[in-house]
Structure 1
């Protein structure tokens, strides 16, 4: 499977990028870093700068059709920057339009709110997003990992870095199931 990881040039929470990325690689899949600009992205450890990572594809040139699934890492600034970029919003929405699975952790569902794909869905996130999710027509739950299959695709969400192990195990299972169903 070819799995897109969408991240802004700055603000992604490093552990929410690197742990899912490694889980995808360990499962024998191909992770691809997609961003709004070429070059590198700057990751953060909460509010402190951490490592940089090379961008594999620019969102304006990428198509959801080229990927089997999407992972949206969090960080407060990451989805806030992405939701202001029309191409990033359209890219994320494209996975829903095409029935491909999506996984989002922490603040990442902000991008899904902007893409108008949470209506009628049950999901979790960092607690400060609950009102935004409810206002966008979703149902917010306080669970370590939530899988919602109310829609054309499955959506896997998780709350925080402490949930990463369960998040990675769950989205890999869901991606594999949905991938088999499509093939």
Structure 2
């Protein structure tokens, strides 16, 4: 993993995030030197989903209302079935994701989190991957779906499942270090 000292990353999630899809990027990106905040709808803790049952709680560092895309270099969106489904109806979350995209910053989503990219319209015309069960949703929204471990398209980083998290985290770091993705349209 490349050195991310001086970089800031927001991981946006709520209850029902897939445990490893929040915890692995959180640890990996912090270990690389980045400042990483868990951002959620409310202060306190959010509870993960660990494969087939409720998992561990994770402390929330900041609420969505208290952050701005200008505070960070990237946004990471963990999956799980519950988490992105709850977040995709939250206007303030969708607006935050769109702000990262408009500012040409890294937007990274794993597993079911590309549902949020569908909801924001970001997926349209972009190469992406996701958990296989939402492929049709991604394609119907205009995404160019690939069955690949990690797909990157001008700062949009997507991954399929927890097994792909090491490659996902490495690609996030690479994209952050490339800087703003000025060639893409907002």
Same fold, TM exceeding 0.5? yes
Distance, in Å, in 1 between the alignment partners of 2:57 and 2:124 is 34
Cα distance in 2 for partners of 1:7, 1:114 equals 15
**Structure 1 Cα separation of the partners of residues 180 and 50 of structure 2:** 32
The residue that corresponds to 2:4 in the other structure is: none
Q: Of the candidates 35, 39, 57, which is equivalent to residue 34 of structure 1?
A: 39
Say if 2:52 is the partner of 1:47: yes
Q: Deviations over 1:92-130 (max 9, x none)?
A: 111101111111110010011111111110100001111
The corresponding residue for 1:96 is: 101
Alpha-carbon distance in structure 2 between the residues aligned to 1:32 and 1:84: 22
Relative to structure 2, which stretch is displaced further, 123-132 or 54-63?
A: 54-63
Residue 20 in 1 paired to residue 22 in 2? Answer: no
TM-score norm. by structure 2 comes to: 0.91
The answer (yes or no) to whether the contact 2:104–2:181 under 8 Å persists in 1 is no
SS at match of 1:79: helix
Structure 2: distance between partners of 1:108 and 1:180: 21
SS at match of 1:157: strand
- Which runs of 5 or more residues in structure 1 are unaligned? none
Secondary structure of 1:119 counterpart = coil
1:172 alignment counterpart: 173
- 2:111 is aligned, of 106, 109, 123, to 106
Query: For 1:84 and 1:133, how far apart are their aligned partners in 2?
Result: 17
Q: How many residue pairs align between the two structures?
A: 176
* Structure-2 separation of matches of 1:44 and 1:7: 12
> Which residue is 1:76 aligned to?
81
Counterpart-to-counterpart distance in 2, 1:100 and 1:70: 8
Equivalent residue, structure 2, for 1:163: 164
Contact 2:49 2:55 (8 Å CA) reproduced:
yes
Pairwise CA RMSD: 1.4
Distance 2:65 2:120 in 1: 16
Partner of 2:11: 5
Structure 2: 5+ residue runs without aligned partners?
1-6
Matched residues in 2 for 1:170 and 1:86: separation? 28
Shift of 1:60: 2.1
